[in-house]
Structure 1
Amino acid sequence: VSDYGPGVDAEAAFKAGFEAAGGEIVEAIRMPLQTNDFSPIMQRIKDSGAEGVFAFLPSGPTTLGFVKAFNENGLKAGGIKFFAPGDLTQESDLPALGEAALGLTTTFHYAVSHDSAENKTFVEAAGKALGNPAELSFPAVGAYDGMHVIYKMIEATGGAQDAAKAVEAVKGLSWESPRGPVSIDPASRHITQNIYLREVAKADDGTYYNKEVQTFEKQGDPGLAAAK
């Protein structure tokens, strides 16, 4: 994982869930944020005897470099499993990754390929707004849902600046997002959402996409769902 707050949190969360399910962590590596040569890390992974690797890096050039290094250093060909959040295979990076990403599995709250009427409408409109549909990725749906919440706050306050009333109005708010059914937890104010297991697949037209293969519903015990 990248050595900063979210990376350390991801390491702890994965370790807790994986060990609870009976897995063993053979080595944990924290990489400086500025790391761009991942070959030495890939060698350490191979030497550790690990059957799989979990990675967390901030989306962007570093994720491209990490996925390419995983492929080019023989880990994918050697049968080592790859686990990561969806930042590492975001849709806008897939054309650059190409075959290197094929078959990689990630979990995330959204895939551009999500099969719902709401998402199809969103993708069509967002693609037109961006001018290049291939640039569409997960930050867009976050912005879209954020605007939805802002609209609801404005409706509840009649446009007046009343922060307490605005926040109160969206506690427990639920709606059908392009990502699927979501709601705002009244206590934590965090969004509650489905998480999807995705696999990078190749479409008939030769493009690559994140294919949803399993859904972890937002209802129920997330720890139990992860263990299954």
Structure 2
Amino acid sequence: TMPMALLRAWRERGMAEAGVRLIATGEATDDSYLDATGALAAGLVTSHHYSYAHDSAANRKFVQGFETAYGSRFRPGYFAVAAHDALAAIDAAFVRAGAGAGGERLIEAFKGLKIDSPRGPIEIDATTRDIVQTVYIRRTEQQRDGRWVNVEFDRFERVRDPNG
């Protein structure tokens, strides 16, 4: 992957030893390929809206369901949680709009919709209809079982699209 190539080049060129800190977005250490990235990502600080290691009841349930369906060899990444959230939002909008709702009523039902996502609380902004979510600051660390995870150590809550 491109993130692995970047991390490999950064390590091979001794950037960390030279005191250059690499900070990236979460795509650099997505959980779906983090074990393959391994030590290349050790200590990397990233910002993102989802981590497999996010500590919440909703995420534990999501991870358990994912692993039941696909095995523990695979981990859900941000694409998996986005798909989950999209379907949860559609379901909640149908419930909110009521039986037999047409398209316009359904679209209106999305405005201000709030969901307890595996990534944390999310909502659809009533005016812009953009997602409002928490963005986490994480560090890539190896766990006792040998797996690599993105450990959250800070957060920015209710982040909105700055152009929205």
Q: Shared topology, TM-score over 0.5? A: yes
Superposed, 1:19-30 pairs within 5 Å as none
Runs of 4+ in 1 over 4 A off after TM superposition: none
- Please list every run of 5 or more consecutive structure 1 residues that lacks an aligned counterpart in the other structure: 1-60, 224-228
Give the distance between the partners of 2:21 and 2:161, measured in 1 at CA.
23
Query: Share of identical aligned residues, percent?
Result: 35
Give the distance between the partners of 1:136 and 1:173, measured in 2 at CA.
24
Deviation at 1:138, TM superposition (A): 1.1
Give the distance between the partners of 1:69 and 1:108, measured in 2 at CA.
22
Give the distance between the partners of 1:118 and 1:135, measured in 2 at CA.
15
Q: Greater share of strand residues, 1 or 2?
A: 2
Residues 142-167 of structure 1 show CA distances to partners (whole Å, capped at 9, x for unaligned) of 0111001111233325255x221111
TM-score calculated relative to the size of structure 1: 0.66
Superposed, 1:85-124 pairs within 5 Å as 85-124=25-64
Q: Determine the structure 1 residue equivalent to 2:104.
A: 164
Q: Determine the structure 2 residue equivalent to 1:69.
A: 9
| Residue identity in the other structure for 2:144 | D
Q: Are the aligned partners of 2:46 and 2:139 in contact in 1 as well (CA < 8 Å)?
A: yes
Give the distance between the partners of 2:49 and 2:59, measured in 1 at CA.
13
Please identify the structure whose Cα radius of gyration is greater. Answer: 1
TM-score calculated relative to the size of structure 2: 0.90
Superposition CA RMSD, Å: 1.9
RCO higher in 1 or 2 (8 Å CA, sep ≥ 6)?
A: 2
Q: Determine the structure 2 residue equivalent to 1:48.
A: none
Give the distance between the partners of 1:173 and 1:191, measured in 2 at CA.
10
Superposed, 1:183-198 pairs within 5 Å as 183-198=123-138
Indicate the SS of the match to 1:213.
Answer: strand
